């Protein structure tokens, strides 16, 4: 029979049957694009093309004004420089991009040595922007960082002023902090420097790694008059350096 000659039909197993994926729709019932064409933001949060353009036109002047007002014109700050660099080295490096107005090296307060940070001021803001090409430039084994110098706010100026304020004299204090000393300054040099005061002892800060001076010391005086005369010599020059003299924070007693 014809019916017997026909092969029996079998139903596909429901687990093996290929399921048709329903197209994804957004919350308005509109089909979404395929995965390859999916937008990078959630549908419904995008502005229309004319809205994006209008927003950009409105935000551009504000952003430009904010950026222009947040940086000091013509000034950049560079960090990560080798401590052996001199002002002449830095002027030669940045002077390639245009005339310089000033170069200010940041130094360690105790030793007065260059700390690898410098503020460079160009005569034009355009040259300052060009010098940003030095960001990541390798000097020796170090990669320097160069960026625009931000404007100093009133709060930052206040904190800086508070940090730079000399400590007040504590009761019974007979010691002074003496900083920004040359590496080769000796006790004999300091006694000659404070010759108008009676010195009890001098305690140099020693670098444990090198065994050399760290560029500052504490001087104990025999009486209060000697201490006052010494503090009055703050910023006096010793071996070509302005010496920092202030009341010691912790009195040895």
Does some domain include residue 46? Answer: no
Please name which of 193, 161, 159, 162 lies closest in space to residue 176, comparing C-alpha atoms.
193
pLDDT of residue 111: 75
- 57 is written with which tokens? 């036109």
| Predicted confidence pLDDT, tens digits, the chain (253 residues) | 444 444 445 444 445 445 555 656 554 555 554 434 433 333 333 333 433 343 344 344 444 444 455 888 999 999 988 989 999 999 999 999 999 999 999 888 767 888 888 999 999 999 999 999 999 998 888 888 999 988 765 545 544 444 456 678 888 899 999 998 988 899 999 999 999 999 999 999 987 877 888 889 999 999 999 999 999 999 888 888 889 999 997 544 4
DSSP E strands, the chain: 71-79, 100-107, 114-122, 138-139, 142-143, 145-150, 175-179, 199-206, 213-221, 237-238, 241-242, 244-247
Q: Which of 116, 132, 161 is the last residue of a domain?
A: 161
Does some domain include residue 241? Answer: yes
Q: Which of 114, 130, 161 is the last residue of a domain?
A: 161
Question: Do both 127 and 83 map to the same domain?
Answer: yes
pLDDT of residue 178: 95
- pTM of the prediction? 0.39
pLDDT of residue 164: 53
Among positive and negative, which fits the CA dihedral 47, 50, 54, 56? positive
- 21 is written with which tokens? 């994926």
**What's the domain count of the chain?**
2
The CATH number given to whatever domain includes residue 188 is 3.30.70.330
């Amino acid at each position: 029979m014809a019916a017997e000659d026909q092969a029996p039909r079998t139903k596909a197993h429901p687990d093996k049957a290929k399921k048709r994926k329903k197209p994804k729709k957004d919350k308005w019932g509109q089909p979404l694009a395929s995965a390859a064409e999916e937008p990078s933001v959630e549908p419904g949060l995008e502005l229309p093309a004319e809205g994006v353009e209008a927003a950009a036109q409105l935000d551009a002047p504000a952003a430009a004004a904010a950026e222009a007002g947040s940086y000091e014109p013509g000034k950049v700050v560079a960090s990560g420089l080798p401590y052996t660099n001199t002002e002449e080295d830095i002027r030669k490096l940045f002077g390639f991009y245009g005339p310089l107005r000033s170069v200010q090296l940041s130094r360690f307060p105790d030793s007065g040595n260059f700390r690898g940070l410098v503020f460079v001021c160009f005569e034009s803001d355009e040259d300052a922007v060009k010098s940003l090409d030095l960001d990541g430039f390798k000097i020796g084994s170090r990669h320097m960082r160069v960026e625009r110098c931000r404007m100093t706010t009133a709060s930052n100026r206040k904190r800086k002023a508070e940090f730079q304020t000399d400590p007040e004299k504590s009761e019974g204090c007979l010691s002074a902090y003496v900083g920004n000393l040359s590496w080769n300054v000796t006790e004999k040099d300091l006694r000659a420097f404070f010759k108008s005061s009676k010195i009890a002892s001098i305690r140099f800060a020693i670098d444990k790694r090198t065994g050399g001076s760290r560029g500052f010391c504490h001087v104990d005086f025999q009486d209060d008059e000697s201490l006052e005369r010494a503090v009055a010599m703050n910023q006096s020059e010793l071996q070509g350096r302005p010496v920092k003299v202030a009341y010691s924070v912790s009195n040895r007693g």
